[in-house]
Structure 1
Amino acid sequence: MPYSNEHKTVLQAIMHEGALHEARGKELVIRLFKHNNTAQILSEINTKLRPLCMTIKSINCEVTGELYWIFANTVQDKTASFNSEFSQAELALLRNVYSEIVTSNSGWVSSTFCLNLCPSINLKLSKTDAEQFLLEMVNRQWLCCKDGKYYMGVRSIAELLQYFKDTYEGNLHICTLCKQELFYGDKCNKCDAIAHVYCLQNYARNHNSLGCPNCQFSTSRQNFSSSNASAMDIDDA
């Protein structure tokens, strides 16, 4: 099928949202193309984008498991580039939050800890301004927040993975199931294998097993129940 105005509309919707929820993307494809073969439409768009070193990536939120479509550059380097509309102090805070998430054993950092980072940043940033900035990062899917904890957002995973690989090479983990990098997952208490929560949920359904997919030992999350949080859930505390 030739690249059409309908393809452009899907691409513009993804670019406008930054991270478009798959459910909304499917609705758009059905309305424009009268079918639900989203894989075909994304493939046709990506064929057009390939010479421009751009692509549409499908990325799962590590907290909710929900799938998003993200417009990303296929050529990444070790320099994390962020929108110039934000101040140097805000970007310094974001990089510090990234560092804490990546180097933690849990894959998250508390909102209180993030706000307490402000005095350690050379450039002036009040806790009120920092809180508003982090809220904006959640709204734009650069971060995910649940119960007062910040996790890596889908846009950061899609667009800044090479930066994280180059900067925190020794701290990145690989999902034992999908073999992709992960920042937040479920770790086996016996063999230390780690996997995305949504990968474990799929494994449990397909194999009727709650054991570790690597050693079959019962893992820390017994029921693998899906989190009800969304990337927009901000704890007010």
Structure 2
Amino acid sequence: MVYGKEHKAVLQAIIHEGALPADNGKDVIIRLFDHDNTAKVLSEINAQLRPLYMTVKCTTCEVTGQLYWVFASTVLDKSASFHPEFSQAELALLRSVYSEIVTSSNGYVSSTFCLNLCSSLNLRLSKADADEFLREMVARKWLYSKDGKYYMGVRSIAELLQYFKDTYENNLQICTLCKQELFYSEKCSACDAATHVYCLENYARTHGGPAGCPTCRHPVPGTSSGTDAKDVDGAPQVETDIEMTQSSHAKRSKRRHKN
């Protein structure tokens, strides 16, 4: 099929969200193309994006196992750079949060600890402003939040992996199954092998039940990655994410106008 307005509408939806849940993207494709061959449509879109050094990546949330379509650059980004609408203090906080997540032993950091990082920044940032900023990072899928903890978001995984490789090379682990870098994982207590939670669950399903560690077969504690987590950040309705982002923008505008 010739690249047309239908492809542009799909791409626009992805760009608007930054990270579009694949289920929502599939619904859009069905409405526009009258078929559900998402791989074909994304391939046709990426063919047009390639000369622009952009692409649509399929990235899975490490906590929920939900697949997202992320609009990202194909140029290796060695710096965690963001839109100039964010202050230097906010970006310094985000880099500190990234550092804590990557260097932690469990792949997340508590929200309380994140707010306390404000006191260690060279730039002034109140805890109230920091909390608002981090919530916006969750809404935009740069971070993921569940039960008072922050995890790496799908956009960070898709767009900033090279930055993490260059900055934290010795801290990154590789999933035993998909062989991709990971931040949050299930670790084997016997051999210390790290596996994405969703990869481990898929592996168990294909083996007809708990299959143990893919490396040494040692029993691995059961994990759940689905519905409860999605209620916090991965709400399947795109409209919810849009409303969260718009709300954050409104608060940010009011704060800056006041200042």
TM-score with structure 1 setting the length: 0.95
Cα offset for 1:209?
A: 4.0
Cα offset for 1:79?
A: 1.5
Question: Which residue is equivalent to 1:67?
Answer: 67
Question: Which residue is equivalent to 1:139?
Answer: 139
Separation of aligned partners in 1, 2:73 and 2:143: 19
Matches within 5 A, 1:156-195: 156-195=156-195
Question: Which residue is equivalent to 2:16?
Answer: 16
Question: Which residue is equivalent to 2:5?
Answer: 5
Question: Which residue is equivalent to 2:150?
Answer: 150
Separation of aligned partners in 1, 2:100 and 2:49: 34
Say which SS state the counterpart of residue 114 (structure 1) adopts: helix
Say which SS state the counterpart of residue 100 (structure 1) adopts: helix
The one-letter code of the counterpart of 1:37 is N
The one-letter code of the counterpart of 1:27 is D
Separation of aligned partners in 1, 2:57 and 2:106: 26
Question: Which residue is equivalent to 1:215?
Answer: 216
Question: Which residue is equivalent to 2:225?
Answer: 226
The one-letter code of the counterpart of 1:19 is A
Which structure 2 segments of 5+ residues have no match?
Answer: 235-259
Separation of aligned partners in 1, 2:181 and 2:219: 23
Cα offset for 1:225?
A: 2.6
Cα offset for 1:226?
A: 2.5
Matches within 5 A, 1:8-157: 8-157=8-157
Separation of aligned partners in 2, 1:125 and 1:113: 15
Cα offset for 1:13?
A: 0.4
Say which SS state the counterpart of residue 190 (structure 1) adopts: coil
Q: Deviations over 1:132-165 (max 9, x none)?
A: 0000000000000000000000000000000000
Q: How many residues align?
A: 231
Say which SS state the counterpart of residue 117 (structure 1) adopts: helix
Q: Deviations over 1:95-134 (max 9, x none)?
A: 0000000000010000000000001001110000000000
Say which SS state the counterpart of residue 82 (structure 1) adopts: coil
Q: Deviations over 1:7-27 (max 9, x none)?
A: 000000000000001111010
Separation of aligned partners in 2, 1:155 and 1:38: 20
Say which SS state the counterpart of residue 86 (structure 2) adopts: coil
Separation of aligned partners in 2, 1:77 and 1:18: 17
Higher helix proportion = 2
Say which SS state the counterpart of residue 229 (structure 1) adopts: helix
Q: Percent identity?
A: 69
Cα offset for 1:2?
A: 1.1
Say which SS state the counterpart of residue 133 (structure 1) adopts: helix
Say which SS state the counterpart of residue 189 (structure 1) adopts: coil
Which structure 1 segments of 5+ residues have no match?
Answer: none
Question: Which residue is equivalent to 1:200?
Answer: 200
